[in-house]
Structure 1
Amino acid sequence: MERYLGEKIPKLGFGLMRLPQKDGQIDLEQTKAMVDRFLEEGFCYFDTAYGYGDGASEQAIKAALVDRYPRDRFLLATKLPAWAGAKTKEEAEQMLETSLQRTGAGHFDFYLLHNLGESRTHYFDDYDIWSFLAKKKEEGIIKHLGFSMHDKAEELDRILTAHPEMEFVQLQINYADWEDPAIESRKCYEVARKHGKPIIIMEPVKGGILADPSDQVLQLFQQEDPKASPSSWAIRFAASLDGVITVLSGMSNLEQMEDNLSYMKDFQPMTEREREITEKARKIFEAVPTVPCTSCAYCMKDCPASIAIYGTFQAINLYKTFENLEMAKGKYSWNTDGQGKAKASACIQCGRCEKVCPQHIHIREELKKAAAVLEG
């Protein structure tokens, strides 16, 4: 008898956001081969979204999975981003119908309100997507209803308190972010557990960063187990947590999939010794000097230029810690343009932000430094 929703689902899920590419398009033949291997080893959970590749991901999984296998052979999840261009309630609701048409799935085993938090949650409230999807669940189009989010624990607690009908949550959890004050992986995990919600884990390898960690972290892992890949440490850390439905890995080629299958097909939770090693790795990342921003946002309340101050510091700290400029610039673009905020270079040097910063950060100076790196 299951103790929680999804307990018996294999602990590795196929994230479909970063599918293999060929000539600028999704490589459908390699995607089919990956789907075949995934199912062959007994895994079944596939995760896509309305917005992945502007719909290309949903279309690809129709061709690679839905059209080629019986519907009861797999579990399919997708997501509705009411904040992504929907001008009316009807346009937001249409996203579900569009996903059904693209995938040909007939129903979704897991369906998510996509990326709640920050300035996005109100769209789901304004359009009453909660009630709309609850009705679709009653109709059988949705089997299990939940949401994903990349916000703080306090906001997660607020949403789960307001919407106890949500059956599960999808959270960014990995060992590097476990104690990060900007992400609060551990705190978010604990809030979900407090509310009795099982968890689908995304970004266990932090967008690929933890697959290629610093030399110091790599050496730490290799000394403990020369055969284990850095990704295996990250994914097994996440999969070893209690109350986890599955851990999504955004696999982009067969090599990544084979590596993941090698240690997840007979998954064994981490030992105490292995947990200690991942904690040492986390502390190595934590020791890198970064801007000591806690994302309190006091600095932004009276900023005349409407600069994404803490969003800028999130991005530059990502670069400082993991030395991945492409990833940092992507985060910077999302935190500025993606949120309707100005870039660091727009600072007019008024100094209002520094007067209210609890961490006493030299914000103007740090914004200059960040702009030189992230806008170059």
Structure 2
Amino acid sequence: MQYRIHNKTGAEVSLLGLGCMRLPKPDPSSEGIDYAAAKAMVDTAWQRGIRYFDTAWAYHGGESELFIGKALQDYPRESFFLADKMPAWALESKEDREKVFSRQLEKCGVDYFDFYLLHSVQNSNWDRYEELEVYNFLARKKAEGKIRRLGFSYHGDVPLLETVLKAHEWDFVQIQLNYLDWELQDAKTQYRLITEAGLQCMIMEPVRGGALADLCPEANAILRSAAPDRSIASWAIRFAAGLPGVLCVLSGMSTPEQLEDNLSTMEAFTPLSDAEKEALDAALAEYRKARTIPCTGCRYCLPCPMGVAIPDVFRLYNHKYAFSHSAESLKNAVGDLEGGPAACVACGQCLDKCPQSIAIPTHMQEICELVK
């Protein structure tokens, strides 16, 4: 495993981190965790050199913190870095800050967090974080030794990022960065602003929720021709890890196979060569020709009050229609889905929750038209 040094504290962080949002499940439709399968993955990760584990209040319906706390009890506390996050949506008052933070320490079974973040800072919640003085509260926790490094994860636009960076003293920033969002969501500018501020980046969604692990057939063929022995996903991991301002690349791995692939990539990590960058540009050009819905499957939009399985509907659209344009295949797949698009009433409750700013009701209506 390769490691990078945190420029503020000297901490030696594994270049690959385990994100605990997409752990193995006992049932694909559930929010729960298959503890035995997930624990085996954590053990493999630790034994192979992963030292950064990222969880959050809402992951796996609140079970992620409990799981990772138990899973890491087998290892010395100083041998790993644990990251958790303060959720704006769980805060009704200033008193809730202490309630949430204390409960997180309890759930994770630790006395301190190595890295701690304001969760999913964006245009719709930044004012709330400021009104409740969340940074000031967390800065006090840092002074008490209960937080070692304080940062924020980001899903807003560039102007707000400039505001947030200047508002307080940060130790790191976590952003969504991959070769698709480099231009699509202007991750390029976000990365530049963060590094110009003297901060390093934690990378989330390097494979965009798995979307960049299997592109369209034309794009896959280009990458396989350029590197027959490498997985499609490895290109995305190497793109993110190759940036000098990146401290750690987080991957939400769901299977032992995904873990092994990422470990193999990072254990023998090399940045993309110029020839590989050209191949990736060509593959991306082919991929962009398809009209995919940019859902990462984060499930922040759930629960839908009408029971629509929003991420599943979008996943089926991308897999069954975006590349093949087979409305019949999409119709058959959606017909077997509990919580299909027809149940959407366009109430809009999901809109502010989506980190990707997807026009969810509009897409649901379009999919309904396709499968009539």
Match of 2:235 in 1: 233
Q: Distance in 1 between matches of 2:35 and 2:25?
A: 8
For the residue of structure 1 that corresponds to 2:74, the secondary structure is coil
For the residue of structure 2 that corresponds to 1:178, the secondary structure is helix
Count of aligned pairs between the two proteins: 324
C-alpha distance 201-111 of structure 1, shift in aligned 2 (>3 A): same
Q: Deviations over 1:250-289 (max 9, x none)?
A: 0011111111111111322222222222222222233446
Q: Deviations over 1:52-87 (max 9, x none)?
A: 12320000011111x2111011100011112x1321
Contact 1:14–1:47 (CA under 8 A) maintained in structure 2:
yes
C-alpha distance 344-260 of structure 1, shift in aligned 2 (>3 A): closer
AA aligned opposite 1:271 = S
For the residue of structure 1 that corresponds to 2:278, the secondary structure is helix
Match of 2:369 in 1: 372
For the residue of structure 2 that corresponds to 1:18, the secondary structure is coil
AA aligned opposite 2:198 = G
Contact 2:6–2:12 (CA under 8 A) maintained in structure 1:
no
Q: Distance in 2 between matches of 1:40 and 1:172?
A: 27
Which residue of the other structure, out of 20, 23, 45, is the alignment partner of 2:24? 20
* Superposition deviation, residue 129 in structure 1: 0.3
For the residue of structure 2 that corresponds to 1:113, the secondary structure is strand
C-alpha distance 371-87 of structure 1, shift in aligned 2 (>3 A): farther
Contact 1:46–1:75 (CA under 8 A) maintained in structure 2:
yes
| Structure 1 residue 49 corresponds to structure 2 residue 56 | yes
**Gaps spanning 5+ residues in structure 1: where?**
292-314, 348-365
- Identity rate, percent: 39
Contact 2:206–2:250 (CA under 8 A) maintained in structure 1:
yes
Q: Distance in 2 between matches of 1:4 and 1:340?
A: 34
CA-based RMSD: 3.3
* Superposition deviation, residue 162 in structure 1: 1.7
* Superposition deviation, residue 158 in structure 1: 1.4
Q: Distance in 1 between matches of 2:67 and 2:144?
A: 26
Match of 2:74 in 1: 68
C-alpha distance 219-153 of structure 1, shift in aligned 2 (>3 A): same
Q: Where do residues 147-186 of structure 1 align in structure 2 (5 Å cutoff)?
A: 147-163=152-168, 165-180=169-184, 183-186=185-188
For the residue of structure 1 that corresponds to 2:179, the secondary structure is coil
Match of 2:7 in 1: 4
AA aligned opposite 1:237 = F
For the residue of structure 2 that corresponds to 1:218, the secondary structure is helix
Q: Distance in 1 between matches of 2:76 and 2:52?
A: 14
Q: Distance in 1 between matches of 2:5 and 2:345?
A: 42
Which residue of the other structure, out of 246, 249, 258, is the alignment partner of 2:248? 246
Q: Distance in 1 between matches of 2:134 and 2:347?
A: 25
AA aligned opposite 1:176 = L
| Structure 1 residue 113 corresponds to structure 2 residue 99 | no
* Superposition deviation, residue 373 in structure 1: 5.7
Q: Distance in 2 between matches of 1:21 and 1:105?
A: 24
Contact 2:6–2:13 (CA under 8 A) maintained in structure 1:
no
Q: TM-score scaled by structure 1?
A: 0.78
AA aligned opposite 1:253 = T
For the residue of structure 2 that corresponds to 1:337, the secondary structure is coil
AA aligned opposite 2:99 = Q
| Structure 1 residue 146 corresponds to structure 2 residue 158 | no
Q: TM-score scaled by structure 2?
A: 0.78
Q: Distance in 2 between matches of 1:13 and 1:290?
A: 28
Which residue of the other structure, out of 326, 329, 349, is the alignment partner of 1:337? 349
Contact 2:70–2:109 (CA under 8 A) maintained in structure 1:
no
| Structure 1 residue 98 corresponds to structure 2 residue 100 | no
Match of 1:77 in 2: 83
AA aligned opposite 1:81 = P
Q: Distance in 2 between matches of 1:50 and 1:162?
A: 24
For the residue of structure 1 that corresponds to 2:64, the secondary structure is helix
Match of 1:137 in 2: 142
Q: Distance in 1 between matches of 2:11 and 2:347?
A: 35
Q: Distance in 2 between matches of 1:50 and 1:116?
A: 15
Match of 1:280 in 2: 282
Q: Deviations over 1:88-119 (max 9, x none)?
A: 11113321111100001211100000000121
**Gaps spanning 5+ residues in structure 2: where?**
294-313, 325-329
Match of 1:203 in 2: 205
C-alpha distance 335-42 of structure 1, shift in aligned 2 (>3 A): farther
Contact 1:77–1:109 (CA under 8 A) maintained in structure 2:
yes
AA aligned opposite 1:19 = L
- Higher mean displacement: 135-144 or 282-291: 282-291
Match of 1:257 in 2: 259
Q: Deviations over 1:187-218 (max 9, x none)?
A: 11111112121000000000111112111111
Q: Distance in 1 between matches of 2:81 and 2:216?
A: 36
